[in-house]
Amino acid sequence: MTKVGILVGSLRKESFSKKLSINVASLFPEGYDAEFIEIGNLVIYNQDFDDEHNVPSEYTTFRNNIKGMDAVLFVTPEYNRSVPAVLKNALDVGSRPYGANVWNGKPAAIISQSPGNLSGFGANHHLRQSLVFLNMPILQQPEAYIGGMADLLDENDKIKNDGTVKFLQSFVDAFVDLIEKHQA
């Protein structure tokens, strides 16, 4: 079983990123297990925790969860033309202490979304910069910027636009291809 960790960059109860990620998780083929990984419980990264061997248990759980994943999907909104702090904090927690980067070599893909037309473009590209540094092979094409999220969901939070579902399926298929290349 190939395990794909899903990190959602929004903590809001009615988060569009969470709703979108649930839809996308269902598109992975048989043999893939998409698992949501909690990031809202991680205190802001402080190197003293690692240096003084006083690591919060949430850090240890999170780091071990990421280590157990074969790949990672990031689904995020954009805050102030960048990545939400909770998502950046998760990247920092997983990349430390120095030399113990749990992200290293794990294939990654990014979907950014917005209720507006910009579709989280800034967050998507800022996140890519961090993932390159963390040595995560990133799905290049298709890029996934989903605008108009509020209008894409039905009353059961399912994506109601067939074109969007087809696009997301092509995105997942390309991500699966990337994952399989790195497993070979």
**Per-residue model confidence (pLDDT) at position 116:** 81
8 A C-beta contact, residue 170 and residue 27 = no
**What are the pLDDT digits (tens) for 35-94?**
999 999 999 999 999 999 999 999 999 999 999 999 999 999 999 999 999 999 999 999
Residue, of 181 and 120, whose pLDDT is higher: 181
**What are the pLDDT digits (tens) for 137-182?**
999 999 999 999 999 999 999 999 999 999 999 999 999 999 999 9
> Could you list the residue range(s) of the whole structural domain that residue 163 is in?
2-183
Q: What is the CATH number of the domain that holds 50?
A: 3.40.50.360
d(CA 8, CA 5): 10
d(CA 42, CA 61): 10
Count up the domains in the chain and report the number: 1
Q: Is a pLDDT exceeding 90 seen at residue 3?
A: yes
**To 5 degrees, how large is the angle CA 34–CA 172–CA 37?**
25
**What are the pLDDT digits (tens) for 6-31?**
999 999 999 999 999 999 999 999 99
pTM of the model: 0.97
For the residues 105-126, what does the mean pLDDT come to? 92
